[in-house]
Structure 1
Amino acid sequence: MILITKKGWRYERKDGHSFHFHPNTSALRIKNLSRGESDSLVKFAELRPGDHVLDCTLGMASDAIVASYAVSESGRVVGLESEPILAEMVRQGLKSTVTNRTRLDAAMRRVEVMSRDYRDALPNMKDDSFDVVMFDPMFRKTIKTSSAMQVLKPLANPVPLDQESVQHAVRVSRRLVMLKERLDSGEFERLGFTIVKESSQFAWGVIQKSDVT
């Protein structure tokens, strides 16, 4: 059930758990970037002002917000979300949430949300439309200590990333395609990504456009 209140939109489940949009980890990541510290997405995607980024699995939009900050007002970030309820909640949150952190709020406002499944959208996109295309599918095993992810999981699309979509993503990208997954998921090997960043929670893999053209 969706509740619309003065504090924003909230999704409530019958078991009493609720979900509302919030910047999540993007707030700390942008704070760190503003201090000159590194961020794995920004580093390995080589994001810079003016870049165009396509986030094929928007979810809570944390990576999209960080990308928006990195590409600045001269760039563009488009987020695809296949689940209509989640897409609308995140769209509303991005445009209405006020954190009183100028950089963070500006980055949120610039993210463009499209309620579309990447499997339908990518085949219809032109070659070299975005500098970077990224995927962050819902992990089959979510982090149990993350209450936000446990509440979000029923709203998210559980379908694994497919090879055809990866091929279209490479075609659509100008520079590279990125995948965030669990290190031991087997998805990087199955889909042809080279792991560039490992951590206990997740890993980043990339396919460089120059390596396949």
Structure 2
Amino acid sequence: MAGALGLGFEPRNAGLDELASRCGASAVLVVSQRDRAIWLPDGTPAFRFHGGMAVLRIRRMIAGEIDPLVVACDLRPGDRVVDATAGACADALVLAHAVGPEGSVLALESSPFLHAVTSFGVRTRRFGEEAIDAALDRMEVAQGPHLELLASMPTASADVVYFDPMFKSATKAPPGFEVLRALADYTPLTAEALREARRVARRRLVVQDRRGSGELERLGIPEAPVMGRTAPVRFGVLEVGSG
């Protein structure tokens, strides 16, 4: 793994602080048979795949609550969804639950370090809850820039393409999220990426945006009436086909 990622390798023969200091490392990818985690030598909680708020969101959906992301994506049983900005894969897990047994979710992650953690977690982590574990089985995590990966996909090969770009300003987040924030790609969405997404999507393109950022306006995507006006986030939706 170190060779594939172009990283130095050090056996775990000392504490992580000592290892990081000895190697001059700003981050450490800890690899074991059972786990993958990214650790920063500044006291920040390590980042590992744990499902996060997605687990709670799915439990709420099972209890009858409506998830705004699912509404924005207008998901239907059997849909194929591309989450083009996977991050911690929390949204991808919710989407995978929503599309049901015949559906699937392909999550794209540009950072090879984050991908090393999330792809392993999706393959190996199980919660002992049938609905959540089944959703994990419907997920795949691919590594690479979303523009490059979308351009490689056949036309109309997904029902929905979803973007949730990383917010530049800090938001309340679960433990480990600061590691994700440190390694995430902050490149703004481009018109070229949206064109590829519209080509790939049969039905709908969805973008999550921080309220007040102006990104939806910059991209020319209308806001969908999914969230209340006081909510910190909003969704933009483009219909790209008859579905």
Tell me the TM-score normalized by structure 2. Answer: 0.82
> Do residues 13 (structure 1) and 40 (structure 2) align?
yes
Q: Secondary structure at the match of 1:176?
A: strand
Aligned residue number for residue 190 of structure 1 = 218
1:97 to partner: Cα distance: 1.4
What stretches of structure 2 of length at least 5 have no aligned partner? 1-27
Structure 2 CA distance, aligned partners of 1:102 and 1:210?
34
1:10 to partner: Cα distance: 1.4
Structure 1 CA distance, aligned partners of 2:58 and 2:76?
14
Structure 2 CA distance, aligned partners of 1:145 and 1:125?
32
1:171 to partner: Cα distance: 1.3
**Identity rate, percent:** 36
More strand by share: 1
Q: Secondary structure at the match of 2:237?
A: strand
What is the identity, as a one-letter code, of the residue corresponding to 1:204?
Answer: F
Residues 47 and 175, structure 2, Cα contact 8 Å, conserved in 1: no
Equivalent position to 1:167, from 172, 191, 195: 195
Q: Secondary structure at the match of 2:47?
A: strand
Aligned residue number for residue 208 of structure 1 = 239
Tell me the TM-score normalized by structure 1. Answer: 0.93
- Name the count of aligned residue pairs: 211
Q: Secondary structure at the match of 1:2?
A: strand
Residues 164 and 209, structure 2, Cα contact 8 Å, conserved in 1: yes
1:16 to partner: Cα distance: 2.6
What stretches of structure 1 of length at least 5 have no aligned partner? none
> Do residues 178 (structure 1) and 178 (structure 2) align?
no
Structure 1 CA distance, aligned partners of 2:137 and 2:205?
24
RMSD: 1.7
Over alpha carbons, which structure has the higher Rg?
2
Question: What are the Cα deviations for residues 30-60 of structure 1, in whole angstroms up to 9, with x where unaligned?
Answer: 1111122101111121112110100100111
Residues 142 and 150, structure 1, Cα contact 8 Å, conserved in 2: no
Structure 2 CA distance, aligned partners of 1:19 and 1:28?
19
1:182 to partner: Cα distance: 0.2
What is the identity, as a one-letter code, of the residue corresponding to 1:43?
Answer: V
